[in-house]
Structure 1
Amino acid sequence: MPAPSTAAAVPEIPRLALPGSRLRRLGIDTGDELVAYLRSDSPICRAEGFSAHSRIELRIGERRIEAMLNVVHGELLAADEAGLSESAWLRLRPGPDERVVFAHAPSVESLAHVRAKIYGHALESGQIRAVMRDVAARRYSGMELAAFITACSDGHLSFEEIMALTEAMVDSGNHLHWPNPVVVDKHCIGGLAGNRTTPIVVAIVTALGLVMPKTSSRAITSPAGTADTMAVLAPVELDLGQMRSVVERTGGCIVWGGAMNLSPADDVLIRVERALDIDSEGQLVASVLSKKIAAGSTHVLIDIPMGPTAKVRDAQQGRSLSQLLQRVAAGFGLQLQALLTDGGQPVGRGIGPALEAHDVLAVLQCRPEAPADLRDRALLLAAALLRQGGLLHDEADAYLLAARTLASGRAWTQFQAICAAQGGLREPGRAAQQYPVASTLAGRVAAIDNRQLSRTAKLAGAPLAPLAGLSLDVRLGDRVDVGQPLFTVHAQSRGELAYALEYVSRHPRIVEVVPP
């Protein structure tokens, strides 16, 4: 006869579901945060003691979301009504006569692992996987996400944790698989204003027969990401089926990865990293490589710009990041090459989605006014991918082939085909508000601050206002006269223009001019 158990049996306690409420779409933009609104004197708040910032569950049949509760005092809502933010409404998708049932949200067990990380403990693979699973399910508040990101920043992730974080991010979403033995991709780690090489590179290498299904992210800490710039030129929010169709027709695409649920946990973290202006090395590596692995890439080129005001300040830091990227990539069977490039000044003239799009078109169309530095950098990266993809082995031959493909118009024809397949090529506009910032000295341009230029462009409205940003009118070493424009701020409203110019007035050395 088996010995009696000493553990008490714990009955399964049904979670309380509260009465249904009518829903109202309040039209409040809360970003990615799901927010519900109830009156302070509603029966639901009275019955359960819900208070501001409570985590609650909302259910309509099989559909459910978890949201943060905001409590309304006044007549905005009726006592039996519940309001939803735009993100919550779009996620729950309520019908015209459907009523929502409220319940207490289940506790988020993985937060214990976040607290452990805050106190300096290393996390095991299963613990990181649990955190990413809850992050992808949007069960973390913005404050909790910020705590996790901060706890993992500044070198606080070991190599084993970075590997586990990368794998957990990959497993949080969809995986793409391609029939081709070689699928190439590139990524720039950022920190360099402008530098919109990706559309040019994709056009060149796919025109020559390589397959490059490029999934790009929105801006994290910059005035524009590749997806932001490409969205000015063509639709980028394609689903998996649409993306496959574009790649089958043209050999490549340039789309927003977030629309295809590739590494969705990373997409959630990116939004908070943008607000915190944090992009630490371990999280950067996991973020970049998880997207490449999930997208089905086999060969990846990483551009690492180095400069005193770039994300990577010197060659030592660049080599360290390059080695870490290569170690992690090797662990997943990914062929990776890192190029350490010059990040001493912006690449191209435009900084901001539409302004960078104008630069891209000028290079692809081989116009005389096209920025030579953007053209040369794109050719360098395209040549490296041609070698990685096995088309050529000699560096000089690869560069020459890339240059001929651009000069002949083949790359421009290919780019037009990609845009047409994605939904149609559009002409980027120009901002109504423009203000040139002039030099107060005669002399030589001695330094250009990438970070302060990017900050100015963001204060002007970029990337959310796609026409906003700034255009750079000088390069390092140029001689300038008093009153000559150094850069021009572009904004879509007078208020944003004034906001950016106030910052410029407090930072007179964004472009530093020294006497001859």
Structure 2
Amino acid sequence: MDENRLKAKRMGIDAQRKCVAYMSSSCHVCRAEGFNALSRVRLTVGERHLIADLNICQESIIPEGHIGLSEKAWQLLDCQPGQAVSVAHPLPLASMAKVRRKFFGHQLLQADYEAILFDVVAERYSDVQLTAFLAAASKDMHEEEITALTSAMVAVGEQLSWHRGPVLDKHCVGGLPGNRTTPIVVAVVAANGFCMPKTSSRAITSPAGTADTMETMTQVDLSLNQMRSVVAREGACLVWGGAVNLSPADDILIRVERVLDIDSDAQLIASVLSKKKAAGAGAVLIDIPVGPTAKVRTDVAGERLASTLKAVGERIGLRVHARITDGRQPIGRGIGPALEARDVLAVLQNRSDAPGDLRLRALQLAGDLLELGGVPVGEGFRRAEQTLSSGEALRKFLAICDAQGGFREPTKARFKHPVTAARNGVVRDVDNRVLARLAKLAGAPATQSAGIELHVRLGDAVIEGEPLFTLHADTRGELTYALAYLDMQQEIFVISEEEAS
């Protein structure tokens, strides 16, 4: 019948990759079907259909007999203006019963998680339902169940095979601003002839992810075929995982995690290992920074996370090595995509002003990974240092960028504001979380050039009025907003009045 058909209207609204429908409160379909604001509705155009959240608008916004569509809904339905859209209630979501089971303390099997994640990937879950799933899957998750979740994430996405070996990969669990070692590690490892098809996430709760930083220097949203071409040519890549459909359920969950600012151990492990397995890796190095204001706060928690990562990795056929690193302060000087990219380039170019802590950590991680690939134990660091010092790593990095679409210099911010020391003394502590929040309020990662440039480190002696860090922003409004937040904080850098020893 035609009673539930409305004419498509493109609203031009970016709803953060969500499918949203807009109907007038007086619409006959809306009233007859009993739809309310935030109802879930099934939209059909020809053979294409999707589930959308419903917003109710005033009559003046949506013409009579029309239904408005967000940009993502418009693209997925491949609509033309005025084309007929059938509107109906969605079928009951059977997999939510499994979410409720988990919420009340029952253990789920891989088949249960596959049913849930299949519906997640099909975008049948609202953000409220996704939040319920994330909350449920963060409780009482033991090794066996984390393995089930990880395997299910792999099963509902693409899986790559490179027909060469060994295939190496690396990941940092996050929580430490700066720490942009991955581009350096990939360049060093690939320059030594190993295969490293690196897929990375965009930022979840941080001011920049590896994909955000790399995007300031080259193209990262490659298709699967483009990714294969780059790896065939250079033995490695540095691309955004969301563009190649590896563990697509995780990409959807990350969107909600970003809003909630949460990242449970179980979800972290499943997220990391599912993507490494799907990317075709055989051996994976995990960097676990530990510090009072890092994501992992204590050595005990770090060791527990490392142990579970190794155990789950073994269950799904991955060889995992974890290195627990110092997470008391940011690594490098830049916090934010372009500022971190400048640190990466300084290290690769062997410049005298390159941040030494970033260089050392990248070499340690690259050395570990080379040894996982077969370089004799104890020789990895020396081999990595030689590769970097000789310029081979820089040449390989630029070759990878060229294969991905060409290299470009990171942009610079229009506005800068130094933040100075309030007194003489020695830097004794730093709050990583507040620094990260401040960089995000300045515009990172959405604005590539925004963030923080650090001028001091733990143990440095400072004098009153000396810059501790500089805020970078691309608009005056974002700079003002970040400074207002800064005014409400206690000391980000704790400065004692003792003299430096």
Report the TM range for the smaller structure's normalisation: over 0.9
Alignment of 1:438-457 (within 5 A): 438-457=420-439
Q: Do the aligned partners of 1:52 and 1:71 also contact (CA within 8 Å) in 2?
A: yes
For the pair 1:353 / 2:358, whether they are aligned, the reply is no
Shift of 1:491: 1.2
Q: Indicate the residue corresponding to 1:219 in structure 2.
A: 203
What code does the residue aligned with 1:207 have? A
Q: How many residues align?
A: 498
Q: Do the aligned partners of 2:9 and 2:82 also contact (CA within 8 Å) in 1?
A: no
For the pair 1:512 / 2:497, whether they are aligned, the reply is no
Matching residue within 123, 137, 158 for 2:142: 158
Shift of 1:188: 0.2
For the pair 1:291 / 2:275, whether they are aligned, the reply is yes
Q: Alpha-carbon deviations, 1:233-275, whole Å to 9, x = none?
A: 1110001100000000000000001111111111111111111
Q: Indicate the residue corresponding to 2:377 in structure 1.
A: 394
What code does the residue aligned with 2:17 have? D
What code does the residue aligned with 1:101 have? S
What code does the residue aligned with 1:415 have? F
Q: Do the aligned partners of 1:17 and 1:103 also contact (CA within 8 Å) in 2?
A: no
TM-score (norm 1): 0.94
Matching residue within 49, 58, 77 for 1:92: 77
What code does the residue aligned with 2:465 have? G
CA distance in 1, matches of 2:134, 2:491: 32
Which segments of structure 1 move beyond 6 Å, counting only runs of 4 or more?
A: none
Q: Indicate the residue corresponding to 2:54 in structure 1.
A: 69
Matching residue within 458, 473, 480 for 1:498: 480
Q: Alpha-carbon deviations, 1:363-405, whole Å to 9, x = none?
A: 1111111111101111111111111011x2132x221221111
Q: Indicate the residue corresponding to 1:428 in structure 2.
A: 410
SS in structure 1 opposite 2:429? strand
CA distance in 2, matches of 1:464, 1:402: 33
Alignment of 1:57-136 (within 5 A): 57-96=42-81, 98-136=83-121
Q: Do the aligned partners of 1:299 and 1:336 also contact (CA within 8 Å) in 2?
A: yes
Shift of 1:152: 2.2
SS in structure 2 opposite 1:488? strand
Shift of 1:419: 0.4
Q: Alpha-carbon deviations, 1:308-363, whole Å to 9, x = none?
A: 11111111111100110001000011111000111111000000111101111111
SS in structure 2 opposite 1:233? coil
SS in structure 2 opposite 1:69? strand
SS in structure 1 opposite 2:486? helix
For the pair 1:245 / 2:229, whether they are aligned, the reply is yes
Q: Do the aligned partners of 1:443 and 1:479 also contact (CA within 8 Å) in 2?
A: yes
Unpaired runs of 5+ residues, structure 2, are none
TM-score (norm 2): 0.97
Matching residue within 253, 275, 285 for 1:269: 253
Q: Indicate the residue corresponding to 2:292 in structure 1.
A: 308
Q: Do the aligned partners of 1:56 and 1:69 also contact (CA within 8 Å) in 2?
A: yes
Shift of 1:97: 5.7
For the pair 1:35 / 2:26, whether they are aligned, the reply is no
Q: Alpha-carbon deviations, 1:84-130, whole Å to 9, x = none?
A: 11221222221356322212211111111222222222223322221
Matching residue within 176, 196, 202 for 2:186: 202
Shift of 1:58: 1.0
Q: Do the aligned partners of 1:33 and 1:142 also contact (CA within 8 Å) in 2?
A: no
SS in structure 2 opposite 1:232? coil
Gap change, CA 1:436 and 1:132, over 3 Å in 2 = same
CA distance in 2, matches of 1:296, 1:125: 20
Q: Do the aligned partners of 1:17 and 1:102 also contact (CA within 8 Å) in 2?
A: no
Alignment of 1:145-184 (within 5 A): 145-153=130-138, 155-184=139-168
CA distance in 1, matches of 2:368, 2:75: 43
Gap change, CA 1:17 and 1:322, over 3 Å in 2 = farther
Unpaired runs of 5+ residues, structure 1, are 1-15
CA RMSD, aligned part only? Answer: 1.3
Q: Alpha-carbon deviations, 1:127-178, whole Å to 9, x = none?
A: 222111111111111111111112222x421222211110111011111111
CA distance in 2, matches of 1:151, 1:496: 36
What code does the residue aligned with 1:500 have? A
Q: Do the aligned partners of 1:18 and 1:103 also contact (CA within 8 Å) in 2?
A: no
Query: Identity across aligned pairs (percent)?
Result: 54
Q: Do the aligned partners of 1:33 and 1:141 also contact (CA within 8 Å) in 2?
A: no
Q: Alpha-carbon deviations, 1:452-489, whole Å to 9, x = none?
A: 11011111111111111111110000000100111111
